[in-house]
């Protein structure tokens, strides 16, 4: 397991890139934000980049690569095909499925079901409020396993930028920190990249 997963707290900083239509993030140490633990980069073809200029990102397929600070591939997060009907799947560096995320449309609060590699329920990510700035990861036993919180960056950056920063915290030692880390990226792609 990579050093990135030994932490129980991460700060995810999304890059402000107006000319680039691919999303990219830095995964930083919460105690020392100058220490970069890894990065997340989106890979898309020119056709998808052109479509992003005209369509809501929520409808678009995507593929993101999560790498550690040495460039080693840790996870791939992807959604293919019809975005409204497809789950977002997460694979490890050896292309084995880790988990998947399915958006739920049943309530006013935003909710994402988390499934393990065998498609059994592993928990859910639920918005604490209607404007989706704080999410709680609840494991399959109903206990709080972690939080994903949007970080305020100041009025001008919030008004004139689409980039978001997130604080991701595990409540307790977990054998699945990758689910929470991937969940934070999924939350941003689903609810904050429109």
Per-residue pLDDT of the chain (194 residues; tens, 9 = 90+): 567 888 889 999 988 765 556 788 999 998 888 899 999 998 877 776 667 666 666 667 889 999 999 999 999 999 876 656 678 999 999 999 999 999 887 667 789 999 999 999 999 999 987 777 899 999 999 999 999 998 876 665 556 556 788 999 998 766 688 999 999 999 988 887 65
Map out the domains of the chain with their CATH numbers: 10-191 (2.40.160.200)
Q: What is the pTM of this model?
A: 0.86
Q: What is the pLDDT of residue 58?
A: 63
Q: What integer pLDDT is reported at residue 162 of this predicted model? A: 63
Over its C-alpha atoms, the chain yields an Rg (Å, rounded) of: 16
Extract long-range pairs of 89-98: CB within 8 Å, 24+ residues apart.
Answer: 90/178, 90/179, 90/182, 92/178, 98/178, 98/179, 98/182
**Per-residue pLDDT at 122:** 94
Residue 167 confidence (pLDDT): 92
């Amino acid at each position: 397991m990579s050093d990135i997963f030994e932490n129980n707290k991460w700060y995810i900083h999304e890059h402000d890139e107006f000319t680039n239509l691919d999303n990219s993030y830095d995964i930083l140490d919460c105690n020392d934000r100058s220490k970069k633990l890894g990065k997340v980069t989106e890979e898309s073809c020119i056709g998808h980049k052109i479509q992003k200029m005209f369509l809501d990102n929520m409808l678009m397929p995507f593929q993101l690569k999560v790498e550690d600070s040495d460039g080693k591939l840790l996870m791939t997060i992807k959604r293919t095909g019809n975005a409204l009907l497809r789950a977002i799947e997460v694979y490890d560096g050896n292309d084995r499925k880790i988990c998947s995320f399915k958006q739920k449309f049943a309530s006013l609060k935003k909710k994402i079901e988390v499934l393990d590699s065998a498609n059994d329920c592993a928990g859910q990510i639920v918005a604490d409020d209607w404007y989706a700035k704080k999410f709680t990861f609840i494991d399959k036993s109903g206990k709080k396993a972690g939080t994903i919180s949007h970080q305020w960056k100041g009025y001008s950056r919030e008004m004139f930028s689409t980039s978001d920063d997130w604080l991701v915290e595990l409540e307790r030692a977990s054998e699945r920190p990758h689910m929470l880390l991937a969940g934070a990226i999924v939350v941003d792609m689903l609810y904050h990249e429109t």
